[in-house]
Amino acid sequence: MSVNSKVSREKSNSFSEVDHIRSDSLESADNGGIWLSFKDSFKPAEQSRTLTSKDISEEEEAKLTDVERAALRSANSQLSRSLKSRHLQMIAIGSSIGTGLFVGSGGALRDGGSAGLIIAWTIISTGVFATVQGLGELSVALPVSGGFNIYATRFIEPAVGFAIGWNYFMQFFVLLPLELVAASITIKYWNSDLNSDIFVAIFWVSVVFITMLGVKGYGEAEFVFSLVKVIAVIGFIILSIVLICGGGPSHEFIGGRNWREPGPFANGFKGVCSVFVTAAFSFGGTEMIGLTAAETSNPRKTLPRAIKQVFWRICLFYLVSLTMVGTLVSYTDSSLIGASDVDATASPFVIAIRNGGIKGLPSVINAVILIAVLSVGNSSVYATSRSLNSLAEQGMAPKWTGYVDRAGRPLVAIVITNVFGLFAFIAASDKQVEAFNWLLALSGLSSIFTWISINVAHIRFRRAMSYQGRTTAELPYVSQCGVWGSYYGLALNCLVLVAQFWIALFPLGGSPNAYDFFLSYLGLPVILVSWLGYKLWKKDWTLFIRAKDLDIDIGRINIDLDVLQQEIAEEKAQLAEKPFFVRVYKFWC
């Protein structure tokens, strides 16, 4: 190993300094016993500044602008850097494989038809891929607390960061009780006589237990959950090929029958447009890999690989599995008509296997759906707690909500999220659907707004680098789509908003009405009110931060650029000597 490589590794290890301090504190508590160690873990985290050279006093910090203060605080977050490479791999591959894919795709198939399903998911997936690539470039260069939330504040302007941060918080804040209700409904597949609230309580306790274990507990849980989901989807694809070719119990050759009759499209172009938002919802959580940057042990090495895994998730777990679904299940299937988006019995995956005449397996798929629901619930607590912690660090939420304990947990934010999860006890009420519909409407377009902010932040980041005469050679990871990928992602997401506006105004199978419109498009006025409210609060009407004023250094990985460039050159030289298939694998993985 070269001397420069050792120096680079030593500098990279500066990320774990906070965790060493935290570990030392807990080890000293061990002398007093396990109970004392546990009790001390809830004390405030040790203060440290490891991610930036700007080690300043509180008096000097008070003189900074809101953006500078937010950048400094997010760069010096006390969150624990405990996520390992294997955690990130599974989070990247399986974090957003949930009800959007397993259950929501049923309603999308009904509205758009087989071709509409594939077209919408394919188009959205290209935008998601380009967006996540830009996010990867930002996250590896600036592995700070808050991820895309703080990027919007730093590279666009604070009001946008405020609106995006709170909207994203609301999206997953509401998602926890919704997923708990979905889990209780899934259980009814086996026994419909049991009270839903019994299982809401069981699942709520399970989620609380996992989330109180800290980021490492979240990582381990997601590793297991995602592994189960990945195995299930691969198994479903293999089984689907067998069924399509006539290898099922009835030996009936299905082929492309459902594409010919009733046809590939359910409602023409309008049907395809109606599926866009469902597809976007199913990819929701893809951007969560950006939130993990501040809790990753070695962002320089692990984040790029995790970002690249998005390609495989899109190609294999979405497009291939949905092609199988569209081939095996007709959009006129009676099980899809009038189905709820949280009812697992309406899952086209379950319907496909049931129609294939295979007994027992539908229960297995429902069990996987149950795991997926719990996984999304677990992830929602992670997303909301880290978002609220970031908002508190930026001064956009009460300071006490940003409390981080010695175990690196944003404790108050986790407790707030879990307490709201008790709202899921509405599961036994006949008003549950209406209540959740309006709660989801508050942040129904949140993923689209978040992706737009990521694209704009990446474009602005590159603009600032260009203005300062700096190149991508100093970046540890460069987006495979470049800055033009972010322009594409921005344009595509804006088109999705237009398509959703059309569908909200003129719903499928109905006439224009205020109820359906606001149920589908309430997210836009909510985010505009949030943006305007921040402007009025701060009395700052700046629309964007000028490129010359953008700070692209606070929170940067503390690696000597010469050493970094030498490492990258060595890695490229070593890769050039590998066989062609290895080079292709490394490019995508």
In a domain, 29, yes or no: no
> Is pLDDT above 50 for 353?
yes
In a domain, 447, yes or no: yes
C-alpha dist (Å) from residue 65 to 144, 157, 551: 18, 12, 12
Average pLDDT in the 56-63 region?
Answer: 62
> Is pLDDT above 60 for 115?
yes
**292 three-class SS:** helix
In a domain, 111, yes or no: yes
In a domain, 223, yes or no: yes
Tokens coding 264: 């590939």
What's the pLDDT tens digit per position in 154-191?
999 999 999 999 988 888 888 888 888 778 777 877 87
Do the beta carbons of residue 474 and residue 552 sit within 8 Å? no
In a domain, 225, yes or no: yes
pLDDT number for residue 242: 92
Q: How far is CA 157 from the centre of its chain?
A: 22
Please, what is the Cα angle at 102 between 98 and 108, to 5 degrees? Answer: 115
Q: Which residues, in sequence order, are CB contacts of 281 under 8 Å at separation 6+?
A: 100, 104, 447
In a domain, 403, yes or no: yes
Task: Give buried/exposed letters for 107-123 (b at 16+ CB in 10 A, else e).
Answer: bbbbbbbbbbbbbbbeb
Tokens 């090929």, located at residue:
241
Task: Give buried/exposed letters for 420-447 (b at 16+ CB in 10 A, else e).
Answer: ebebbbbbeeeebeeebeebbbbbbbbb
Q: What is the dihedral of CA 492, 494, 497, 503, to 10 degrees?
A: -60
Rounded CA-CA distance 304/296 in Å is 12
- The answer to which of 75-79, 188-192, 283-287 has the lowest mean pLDDT is 75-79
- The answer to which of 83-97, 101-115, 127-141, 380-394 has the lowest mean pLDDT is 83-97
In a domain, 538, yes or no: yes
**Nearest of 543, 485, 121, 69 to residue 319 by alpha carbon:** 121
- The answer to which of 3-17, 39-53, 67-81, 449-463 has the lowest mean pLDDT is 3-17
**Nearest of 152, 151, 135, 95 to residue 480 by alpha carbon:** 135
Q: What is the dihedral of CA 323, 224, 178, 385, to 10 degrees?
A: -120
pLDDT higher at 361 or 209: 209
Do the beta carbons of residue 93 and residue 227 sit within 8 Å? no
**296 three-class SS:** strand
Over its C-alpha atoms, the chain yields an Rg (Å, rounded) of: 24
pLDDT number for residue 559: 62
Do the beta carbons of residue 482 and residue 200 sit within 8 Å? no
* Stated pTM of the model: 0.86
Percent of the chain with pLDDT over 90: 15
CA dihedral sign, ordered 105, 106, 107, 111 = positive
Provide the strand spans (E) within 224-316.
none
pLDDT number for residue 26: 44
pLDDT higher at 446 or 315: 446
Tokens 């519909």, located at residue:
437
Average pLDDT in the 437-457 region?
Answer: 84
Q: Which residues pair with 296 in a beta bridge?
A: 83
What's the pLDDT tens digit per position in 301-344?
778 877 877 767 777 778 899 999 999 998 888 877 655 555 56
pLDDT confidence tier of residue 131, bands split at 50, 70 and 90: very high
Count Cβ atoms below 10 Å from residue 245 Cβ, excluding itself.
Answer: 12
Task: Report the CATH number at residue 440.
Answer: 1.20.1740.10
Tokens 């009025």, located at residue:
536
In a domain, 487, yes or no: yes
Helix axes 482-505, 514-521, angle to 10 degrees: 160
Q: Give the number of C-alpha atoms closer than 13 A to the C-alpha of residue 67, restricted to the C-beta side.
A: 21
End-to-end CA distance of the chain: 24
Question: Range of 312's domain?
Answer: 81-558
Secondary structure of 432-477 as H, E, C letters? HHHHHHHHHHCCCCHHHHHHHHHHHHHHHHHHHHHHCCCCHHHCCC
Q: Which residues pair with 44 in a beta bridge?
A: 405
Rounded CA-CA distance 240/223 in Å is 26
C-alpha dist (Å) from residue 279 to 169, 274, 338, 418: 20, 9, 19, 27
The structural domain count of the chain equals: 1
User: Please, is 548 exposed, middle or buried when counting C-beta atoms within 10 Å of its C-beta (0-12, 13-18, 19+)?
Assistant: exposed
